[in-house]
Each structure stands twice: as C-alpha cells, then as structure tokens.
Structure 1
C-alpha cells in the first residue's frame, strides 16, 4: 500500500525565501474584505502559490521576490508591505507514491494505477 502521509516544514518568510519558480504552500495573512469603510475580518490561511524573483503584472508593474497565486495575485513576504502578506511557506509534497510534484501526459494513467487499487 502507498504511504499517504507527509511532514510539512514551514519556513518563516522573513528569514528565507524559496528558489525562483518554486511551487509552495503559502501561509497568508490579511483582512477580508480589504476594501470599504469598515475594517474587514483578519484571516490567516494556506494557498498554493509559486515564488518568483521577478514578476510582471498584466498592468506592467514589476514585483521582485514575491509569491503569485493562480489568479495572478501578488503577495510579498511578511514585513515588506501589502494588504495581504506571506508569513510562512513550505515546499509542496510530492504526489502519492512518487518523488515528483507533477506527472503529465502518458505517465498519468500509470502513476494513478500504481497508487489507486482497483475497487
């Protein structure tokens, strides 16, 4: 049977940043909603993101050493400004039964067969 547990090691974003292009789990803090007259409710949550040394937003703005989510929202490490910041990050776990974080194309069915027993 495939071992399905993993250990997460959180890294303080003030102390160390991941390598550029690294997909991570990011612990984000801020307020929701951020706009409006009344201050929103504080949150601290985990989202998948990737870290990059340089990101150009659709509006042409350049962001350095930042975390970017799948919607293109840029968040800076805690203490570097912004309404929502990343306090900690962790490397994403590998896929069950494997040593990689992604399988594409022809390898997918074989990888799934290895970890999903027939029912």
Structure 2
C-alpha cells in the first residue's frame, strides 16, 4: 500500500524530523537552529556558527537588514547599536534565534 501525503503533512513530517534531530544534538551538548529548512549548529569552532551573535549577524547578512527588521520588529538603528555593544554570549541573540529560527540550546 502506497501512502500519499498532502504538502502540509509533508511539512509537518519534516518539521518533526528536524525537531527530533535537534533534541538528539541537544542531548550531546550541541546547539542548533533551522535556516531555510536546514539544521545548522552553533557553538564551538567546529560548528557552522561560533555563537548566537555570529548566527544572527549571518542571518541579517543573508536576509538583508530591512527584511530582518521587518520580520523581528527590531528598529534598525537599535539593532545595529546592540550588535556593536552586546557581548558575544548575550542571551539577546539566543532569544532572537529561538523565536525566529527554532533554535535549541545544547544540554551542557
């Protein structure tokens, strides 16, 4: 018997698969986020992104500042100021990653 799925069902299956992969990586201490349906890692030097600030800056570069601020609600000037002033390890960057990119912290 061949199963057929609607596009919505396929999206849900993929989303669940990514969530399961994220949970497995989190249990190994690896932080992750989802970019364009692809799982990326955040953390040490051997990860896709060094830290959450690096991840957010990369997304701003990828999306463009105006698109990023439109999606997140940031004021562009405030965002630029915070990028310049906030520490690398600031929770501010994880909060954005979690809210807009399905980020999950690794269990350390």
TM range (shorter): under 0.3
Q: Larger relative CO (CA 8 A, sep 6+): 1 or 2?
A: 2
Whose Rg is larger?
1
- Name the TM-score, length of structure 2 as normaliser: 0.24
- Structure holding more strand per residue: 1
User: Which of the two has greater helix per residue?
Assistant: 2
Q: TM-score, normalised by structure 1?
A: 0.22
